[in-house]
Structure formats: C-alpha cells, structure tokens
Chains A and B, each alone.
Chain A
Amino acid sequence: MKVMLIDDSKTMRTIQRNILLQLGYKEIEEACDGQDALSKVSAFAPELLLVDWNMPNMDGITFVKNYRANGGKSPIVMVTTEAEKTRVIEAIQAGVNNYVVKPFTPESLAQRIHETLSRVKAA
C-alpha cells in the first residue's frame, strides 16, 4: 500500500515512517507541506494519507479540501496537535476520515490507520 506522509517536521515524518514500516507499509512518499503534497500526489497516487494541520505555505486542511475537490478519494488521517472538538468537526467536514491527536503512541496511530482502512474497505 502506498502511503503519503505530509508534515513540516522531518522528525515527525521519520517517527511516522518508522511506525508505518513496522506495520508493513513499504511504499512511503513524504511531503513537507500542503503545496509540496499537491505537487506529488498525482504521480504517487497514495492509497492512504497522513496529514498534519499546521504547516507553512499550505496547511493541512487547505490541502485536504484541494485534494478532495480534485477528485482524490483515498482515506485521510489527520495527525495533528489540534485537539479541540471544533477542529475535529472542521476536519471531518473537509474530507478527513479519521483523526489522531499528537502526542500519540505507535499503538494509537496504528489502531487509527487500521480502523480507517477497515471502514473504507467495508463501505
């Protein structure tokens, strides 16, 4: 499965990459903000996207809206420090499928990924 990691922090991308590798996901593309992700998403065609919210140039929520508006249908998990209910609702309305609040454990991220993929498969 192809997974795209979108986060401006290289540290956070590396942590998430390592968790994904442990889960058996080997095809991983990284982007450092929404703009970078938009430029890579067509060529890479991810089957799952992990997206941060607060990023320079283009934030995660703007990316999600753009991605969905352009016909992107792959599941999106938002991985962010934004924990308020209003933010979660805003993200879901923009087209996010699931939500992980930082800080997270490898187990909680893995659980949300499995949950998201299971829901999409069942739909």
Chain B
Amino acid sequence: MSTETTLRRTALNETMRKYGGKMVDFHGWELPIQFAGILKEHEAVRASAGIFDVSHMGQVFVTGADAFKLLQLTNANDLRKATPGKGVYSHVTNEKAGLVDEIIAFCLAADRYLVIVNAATSTKDYEWFKAQSARMLVKIENRSEDFSMVAVQGPKVPLMFEQFAPEALKLPRFGIVEKDLFGEHCYVSRTGYTGEDGFEVTAPHSVIDRVWEKMMELGKPYGIVPCGLGARDTLRLESGYLLYGQDVDDEHTTYEANYGWVVSLDKGDFIGREVLAAQKQGGVGRKLTGLTLTGGVPRPGCKVFKDGAHAGDLASATYSPTLKKGIGVGYLVPPDLKPGTALEVEIHGRRVKAEVSRVPFHKGTAFSKDLYTGK
C-alpha cells in the first residue's frame, strides 16, 4: 500500500511484527489488529493476562500553582477526587457540554498532573487547555511524542507485578506511582480499557521494548498473550467503556452518553456546567443505550427500530466473545428504555430481534472492589 510510508509507527512497531501482529492503519497509526486471533486474545485477558501496545495514546502534563484550577475548570468530574497518587476518569467538556475528550487525569503532586488523552485528540486537548488557561499560573506540555505506553491486563496481572513493581500492587483502581524502570522515569497506573484488573506503564521510547519483554517473561507462567486492537475493542465494549469519535464527540454530552456518574455538578463552576445542570433537571432527548441480539453480528451504523420506527443507529457494536452474542450501543430515542425492551436491528437488510441491555454488558475484575487491596 502506498499509504504505508505515511503511517505513524510506535516504538514497539518492530516488536509487534516480531510477535506476529497483523498491522493495520488505525487513524493514521500502524498498529496490530490481532496476533493469534481476537477470540483467543479476548479470552486470555478475561481469564489470565494480555498485553497491548497503546503508545498512540497521548500524555499532557499540567503543572504549576493553577494546575488544579485549570483541570477543575475544564472537567466535568471533580478533580478533588484525584489526590496525589490517584487519577480520575473524566470528560473535558465544551460550552455546549459536548466532549472535547474523555481522559484520565492523574495527580502526581498537588501542582503536577499527568493527563492521559486519546490519540486523535491530543493536539486538540492541548490547544483547549491552553485556551482556557489565560491568566493562570500553569504550564501545559503535550508530551505525547516522548512516551510509549503498554497496557497489561487480566486477573493474573497483579501476580506478575509482585516482583516487578510491588509498590504498584498497593495501588487502588486509578492509582499511579512514579518509578524508575530500566534507568528511566516511568509511570505505572492501575488502569485499563478492558474491564479487568491490570496496569498501564507509561515509559520513554528507549525502554518500552524492555518493559514489553519483561512483561512477556513475567506473564509466561500465566499464558500471557500479545493483544491487538480487535480484542481491545471487544473488551472495552463489553465493559461499557466509551470510544471517543465513535460513541462520544463534541456534539454529545456526558448525560446523553449515560455517563452521569462522571458529572459533578456540586463541585463549583466548570465549562459546560449550565447545559449539564439543565439536562440533569429536564432529562435528555437521546441516550446511549445498550442492546444484545443473537441472530447476527451488529456493526457501527446499523439502524435500530422500536415498534417498527427508527429509534437511532448503533455507534459501537460487535460480537461479544464473553456473552457469545451481538452487543451494541447507540443513541436511542426515546431515552431510558428499560432492560428487556424489544428492539430490532437492521443487519444486511434483515431486521434482527434485539433487546435493551444494561451496560456494562459484562463486569470483569476491574469492577470488583476487593481486588484493589493488592492482597
């Protein structure tokens, strides 16, 4: 393909190829869609351990006396939840309460934050933070080009970290620790996009290969497998996690996305608060709603019908390896449909019976609180 030369490659590109990754163009990045197969990789993460190259993700550092103030102003969630050593999942909202991005803001110290942002939005986020920081004592650095990132996910992953990073075992969900790995300053957080317990390691490019190989070595007794974007998508959708650009964007709000728990209306003013307060009061006209079906595989863009009328389109949809049926989410009208409500999804011109489902479709170990004691 002639476009191949223009694709951006992560520092792990050669390693991905060495392990048999089937490389594809993912929004301008060359990343593996799969290794041994999506089902096998998905099952490994649910049962034991899998490892992902997520180096396309971005890192924005916000530092200075007003770092907290800036993040509190630009986020729907309350940054007070992010005490030093902890992170908070949040939505960066515009004036219309649409999402600039969905992020994790880690508090490294009272005046120092690491914000993990989506790949395609890192520049946009950086510009947005810049624009909102007038007259603030704050330094904003988009350091996405300087870091690679590996996600190690699965119920057996904490066992792997016993020797490698025992301090990480004490982390609660969304906890973070700064740690030298192979002589470089790195960040280890108890986060992920799979619904399973696990860690994400943010490291300079120069040591990321060694981090990857070390994980493969430590994970060997647990049958760790390299995983691609295919399994990443089935795992995150089963867990009800949003994909920016597909499930949410500048035009959809947090309440519409059915992520109301992210909104902290009582924390004080923030951008988009008025719109969100009105939606909290008056409700939303459409809501991201989950559905399941058995007679086929739903895909993004499939039309959804309720009582014969077009109720919306699927934003994300796939085959769920855990539930062994089709799952999807779409903005449906009316909102607040009860689980079990009968729907139809149009697949290849056929109307297939579906029903409204609770989201998450499946709750992995990341949803169980007991694990995070590290015991």
Instruction: Say whether A and B bind each other.
Output: no
